[in-house]
Amino acid sequence: MFRNYRIRDYDFKLILMVLAVAFIGVMAIGSAEESLQTRQLAGVAAGALVMIVISFFNYSVILKLYWLMYLINLALLSLVLFSSAGDDAGGAQRWLEIGSLRFQPSETAKILLILFFAQFIMKYKEKINTIRVIAGSLVLIAVPWVLIEEQPDLSTSLVLIVIYCIVMFAGGISWKLVISVIAVAVPAAAILISLAQQPDNEILTDYQRNRILAFVNPEEYATTEAFQQLNSVTAIASGQLDGKGYKNNEITSVKNGNFISEAQTDFVFAVIGEEFGFKGSIIVIVLLMGISLECVSVARKAKDAAGTVIAAGMGGLIAIQSFFNIGVATFILPNTGLPLPFISYGLTSVMSLFIGMGFVLNVRLQAKRVK
């Protein structure tokens, strides 16, 4: 399982970017909800340690357990919906509570599915564009997708679809199929927005429909569904270039006035924008973009298809969740409820991402060497 690696092949740049953005997250959470800062710091420390340990494990050996990963994933998602351990909060049943342990299986599902499809694509690499393999892969992604969508968790289920498309493309799927998917996805999004405006539709839940309507007509929902996002934009804009300062006590602060509830999770970017200004916001965006691009770079150097899929999948996950979260905070997207990678409070999300990065680091350690 362990191999002899060269220190020169270790991706210290990726580690530094990940730790930097995670440290910014700890700071932002300390300002948004100081009582949670210690827990987040402990989660980051544990996650970093797990990331380093995993980076030295041969991913090719671990991926042989890909069916076990898939079944564990389905078991955890099923427990959320169909057992007494499933915890309901905020109108959705997304958490699993076993004793004092409380975590969100939909977050670990993203990583487990990337690892599963890495080996699946590796096994069927030569037949990736056949109807049989594509149909099989669609069935395999559909099962966990349904379990997540039924929680209900529309945002994570959409991310799952994007991840699936990314890993299939990285695995060598035909451009023709990619264009076909885009041709279907664009009008499907338009139809979804149209359906959201129909009061009697049964496709979306009331809260999902209201979130989309709040994005389309924010004035009508200024005191309800659009309240958070409108205040988030105000907070970011008030930070101007340099921000109001870390943990400032200004009475004009949107955060200090509690105009953003749960600012440590979905709207943590608003805290960063208000306290660190445009400069701080750009640093966060550049770091997240740098992590995604570095993952893509690792994917291009991977020794095999499985390594390519792991690195590309993680890069895509960081990019898409960052775009969705920041898009919500700046009101260019409907409210999705997705965390900002490595920054938003949530130990399940943080630990899952660190585990994923550990695998990316190992892919880099085993990259093709230029002779």
Residues facing residue 98 across a β-bridge: 101
Range of weakest confidence among 53-57, 90-94, 362-366: 90-94
pLDDT over 70 percentage in the chain: 81
Instruction: Choose from 14-23, 101-110, 153-162 the range with maximum mean pLDDT.
Output: 14-23
Q: Which of 242, 124, 243 is nearest to 173 (CA)?
A: 124
> Mean pLDDT throughout 63-73?
94
CA 228 to CA 263: how far, in whole Å?
9
Q: Order across the sheet with 86-89: list the strands.
A: 86-89, 92-98, 101-103
Indicate whether 325 pLDDT > 80.
Answer: yes
Residue 82 tokens read as 């169909």
Residue 264 pLDDT exceeds 90: no
Please give the pLDDT value at position 167. 92
Nearest to 236 by CA among 249, 254, 222: 254
Give pLDDT tens digits for 32-54: 888 889 999 999 999 999 999 99
Digit-coded pLDDT (tens) for 177-233: 777 777 777 777 677 666 656 666 665 666 666 666 666 666 666 556 666 778 888
Work out the mean pLDDT of the chain and round it to a whole number.
84
